[in-house]
Structure 1
């Protein structure tokens, strides 16, 4: 468990507030570099007129989920999009791509979003871009597959990741209701974006009870995230399932 208050905070540009879950930029902790293949999970707030000027990425899968406002994306491959709540964006940097991210023009308030970086398992590929709207009808018992590289998900509407053992899910629950049965994987990374929830550290009565608030995250191996139940405002959870860790060399 890592609480929202434990994130590293930075202001990389005027009007930009970033809260990092892992070592990032000027924040270095050798014990907190990544979890499995997830290398970054940043909570970003861009004020009116603010944003990230053109910068470059390589061999990184970048997933963006907007919580409030609208985020304008433009990249050197000619892709452009506006990401709003209920939409997921995927930029596969591949051999290299430059992009800008800004609070959309004409906005009257900030844009808040979660951005996650995942290492691919194929490198040097052509950059690609995807933007998908997610509706309630996409959910099956409160669970929606947002993006995946697993072969068994190739025919689904999920955005295609360039990592063959990773998938990103959205789980939701009404107030005081249990979350849906969450997919199992050797490594799971859960980030609560809205509401609150409680869970047990192991299944059954021997597990200790823990609680999560928006912005908290849990790094999970085995069954160490049992019987999650939403709090009084319901819950919205982003969940990575991964089969392996970083590839080196």
Structure 2
């Protein structure tokens, strides 16, 4: 089954007056929706847009796997474990909050920052926080997240190119840019699809290049 969710239907949040715009795919904060709490291990898929100088001041997380994908601009990250990094397009950033961690996320650059941040539930609570950044991940290199029993596949497609969707009990597809077809469903930027019992499915790019994040969920 393929459940398509459109970008226009996301919950709007953030603080526009402070240069922050947020689009939430799942129940989040004041946008409580008991019928849209999670899909498999995925708890949140937020599109964040930060103007230069804007950001999220230090705030806590616990028992959450946080994976961030920058679309444009640069994301400055600092956390209570002493990590200080700049995340750029093509990098995968993971913060395992475990028993508890605090971090800061800012746009300290000179252009608008757009990133997609996904929160996943760990298989087991507690433990020690950890952090990782993979620079310039390749399409052929899936990013494993064993703490959540999940695998992230980055698909960068040229016009008309096809790519197999992993056969899995659950798959989450998020279109970063461009247009793709998933079976009979046409998906554009910000659209997503929640797929159950995926088998033999393909993504096909439209008339231009496309970038898609695909979560293979256990």
Instruction: Give the whole-Å Cα distance in 2 for the aligned partners of 1:32 and 1:93.
Output: 23
Aligned to 1:41: 45
**Which sections of structure 1, spanning at least 5 residues, go unmatched?**
150-161, 201-208, 244-249
Aligned to 1:55: 59
Aligned to 1:154: none
The answer as to 2:210 corresponding to 1:235 is: yes
Aligned to 2:125: 123
TM-score relative to the length of structure 2: 0.94
2:139/2:153 contact within 8 Å kept: no
1:199/1:225 contact within 8 Å kept: no
Aligned to 2:110: 108
- Whose relative contact order is higher, 1 or 2, with alpha carbons under 8 Å and at least 6 apart? 2
Aligned to 2:189: 214
2:169/2:198 contact within 8 Å kept: no
Q: Partner of 2:123: helix, strand, or coil?
A: coil
Q: Partner of 1:188: helix, strand, or coil?
A: strand
Please provide the CA RMSD for this pair: 1.4
The answer as to 2:191 corresponding to 1:182 is: no
* Range that drifts further, 119-128 or 7-16: 7-16
Kindly tell me the number of residue pairs found equivalent between the two proteins.
214
Bigger strand share: 2
Instruction: Give the whole-Å Cα distance in 2 for the aligned partners of 1:221 and 1:109.
Output: 38
**CA deviation profile, 1:160-183 (whole Å, cap 9, x unmatched):** xx12x211111121101112x222
Q: 1:226 aligns with which of 201, 206, 210?
A: 201
The answer as to 2:166 corresponding to 1:169 is: no
Aligned to 2:5: 2
The answer as to 2:196 corresponding to 1:199 is: no
Change in Cα spacing, 1:17 to 1:225, as seen in structure 2 (3 Å) is farther
Offset at residue 148 of structure 1 (A)? 2.7
Offset at residue 223 of structure 1 (A)? 3.1
Aligned to 1:68: 72
1:60-99 equivalences under 5 Å are: 60-99=64-103
Offset at residue 28 of structure 1 (A)? 0.9
Change in Cα spacing, 1:122 to 1:166, as seen in structure 2 (3 Å) is same
**CA deviation profile, 1:195-224 (whole Å, cap 9, x unmatched):** 111121xxxxxxxx2200010000000237
Instruction: Give the whole-Å Cα distance in 1 for the aligned partners of 2:201 and 2:210.
Output: 15
* Range that drifts further, 211-220 or 229-238: 229-238
Instruction: Give the whole-Å Cα distance in 2 for the aligned partners of 1:199 and 1:26.
Output: 32
Offset at residue 242 of structure 1 (A)? 1.2
Aligned to 1:157: none
**Which sections of structure 2, spanning at least 5 residues, go unmatched?**
none
Instruction: Give the whole-Å Cα distance in 2 for the aligned partners of 1:223 and 1:121.
Output: 22
Instruction: Give the whole-Å Cα distance in 2 for the aligned partners of 1:23 and 1:62.
Output: 16
